[in-house]
Amino acid sequence: MSSLSLPPIVTVADLRSANPDTVVCDCRAYLDDREGADAYNQGHIPGARFVDLETVLSSTPGPGVGRHPLPSPVAFATGLSQLGISAEAPVIAYDDAGGMIAGRLVWMLRTLGQPAALLDGGIDAWDGELATSPPEILTTETPVRPWPSGATVNAEEVDQIIAEGGLVIDSRGPDRYAGLVEPIDPVAGHVPGAKNLPFAGNLSDGMFIGSDALAQRFTDAGVDADTVYYCGSGVSACHNMLAAEASGFGRGRLYVGSWSGYCTRSETST
């Protein structure tokens, strides 16, 4: 497989045949008291390096910006440098949640023009031995790359897009979208006018559904390259975005603040 043309989603067989310069990243993270680093230390795909959601893929949370705002270009470049991931290195990322977390790293890198892919099925699909020791990492000088302006939108733009008839997709489960439950954020509900397309519908038993069925999901939802996606904090929405891209509908745009930012906007003015 060419390192210059990684599709958004790859298989274990693809990983095994990937170019030797491919970097494998373990992105496991949890909403409970478990630590992704502990899971990594207990067993990971050989050669994988651990990428922390909170310190590498996010910056400081807060009202209006949500629970997982993007890191600054400088901070992200620093994190990649410390992980030994150059700007040219192809990356394959995985987790143990169907790609819900790892999709964030893949989306970030692809947005910057770097070859990156999500491992279908994650660590559960890996059929080889697991390692318990981290690989030797040689730090690199990864350049600072600004986030492309057209890749993301803010809350005001979301409201304007909906007012003009544009499509905004809420990637959370139907109960959270409907405001029936809200286990994390201070307010239940969804962005007025947003449509629900749970990212979990892309999966069956932890694996992506067939390509035809996946494409039909996005056809039925009416998505296109201008569609805006959000979730609770701008992480699991990337799963929908990668699935849409893999199905030929374009990557769309991410509302990074997502519901956790939208529902706390008023706090920024107090």
248: alpha, beta or left? (left if phi > 0; alpha if psi -120 to 50): left
Residue in 228, 142, 231, 217 with CA at minimum distance from that of residue 182: 231
Q: What residues contact residue 270 under an 8 Å CB cut-off, 6+ apart?
A: none
Which residues make beta-bridge pairs with 230? 170
Q: Which of 27, 231, 238, 263 is catalytic?
A: 231
- 231 catalytic per annotation: yes
What one-character-per-residue DSSP string does 110-137 give?
A: HHTT--EEEETTHHHH--S--B-SPPP-
Residue 36 and residue 264: Cα distance in Å, rounded?
A: 27
Residue 231 and residue 161: Cα distance in Å, rounded?
A: 17
Residue 33 and residue 186: Cα distance in Å, rounded?
A: 19
137: tokens are 């990492």
Secondary element (H or E) of residue 25: strand 23-26
Residue 98 and residue 208: Cα distance in Å, rounded?
A: 8
35: tokens are 């630590």
195: tokens are 């449509």
Active-site residue numbers?
A: 231
